[in-house]
Amino acid sequence: MILTDTHAHLYLEQFDHDRHNMVGRAIERGVKYLFLPNIDRDSIKPMMDLAEAFPGHCFPMMGLHPTSVREDYLQQLETVSLWLKQEKFCAIGEMGIDLYWDKTYFPQQQESFRYQVKLAKEYQLPIVIHSRNSFDEIFRLMDEVWEPGLKGVFHCFTGNIQQADHIVNLGFKLGIGGVLTYKNSGLKEVMQNISLDHILLETDAPFLAPVPYRGSRNESAYIYDIAQNLAEIKGIDLAEVAEVTTGNAMELFNVNI
């Protein structure tokens, strides 16, 4: 049985004291493939170092996170563009719109979204969308930029069934993580009505640890617990969840193992 963590920031400082052991724990628990979304230019080197340390297990993305869109966003985007010219990445991301913390740079976030979608089309890569407090705004942007062939995932999906259906109709996946295990998240009811074919599993480590680890540092080994929870919700075997969601990830990110 092979599980996949499609979204984990394993290069962050929270893992500095045990990073290699933490990746080893994930692999031992069956979480064999780990996808690393970039944040900004400061995260590129540690991300690339981790991917180099675990070839065949860790796969880097390239993008600019919306909360890193500030005064220097044009220079940040130029860095993203330069790296795409010189290295191979599995996706453009993490990108998107975040209106939870600060709306000051919302216009620049929209411009960054459009620019990174343009890069995705140029390099024929999927996009990994951060959508905190911003579904409506992103759907409007998608109306502008969507065209056949554009694909990706709405990372850390926490929306309702109508929003899930909208995403599926765009041909995109839903990234499901530890929030699924939270009692009042509402995701259980959504997952009961969404085919497994549209779902990717993720941790967003070190954030959003699932029950029973909620409140502590998240790590990729906990994909097992998220998958087990999803299997119980859908009334299917854990092995089926692993097979289908890993297959979804390999297809979306065009990884041939």
Per-residue pLDDT of 236-253, as tens digits, reads: 999 999 999 999 999 999
- Tell me the C-alpha distance between 211 and 225, whole Å: 8
Whether the pLDDT of residue 257 is over 80: the answer is no
Q: What are the tens digits of pLDDT across the range 65-114?
A: 999 999 999 999 999 999 999 999 999 999 999 999 889 999 999 999 99
What radius of gyration, in Å, describes the C-alpha atoms of the chain? Answer: 17
Strand partners, 130: 96
Cα first-last separation, the chain:
14
- Tell me the C-alpha distance between 59 and 7, whole Å: 10
Mean pLDDT of the chain: 97
Please state, as a whole number, how many other Cβ atoms lie within 10 Å of the Cβ of residue 115: 19
DSSP, res 69: -
Residue 52: C-alpha distances to residues 47, 56, 62 (Å): 9, 9, 15
Confidence at residue 171, expressed as pLDDT on a 0 to 100 scale: 97
pTM higher than the cut 0.95: yes
* Residue 64 banded pLDDT, cuts 50, 70, 90: very high
Q: What is the mean pLDDT of residues 196-213?
A: 98
Query: What is the three-class DSSP state of 68?
Result: helix
% of the chain surpassing 90 pLDDT: 98
Domains observed in the chain = 3-251 (3.20.20.140)
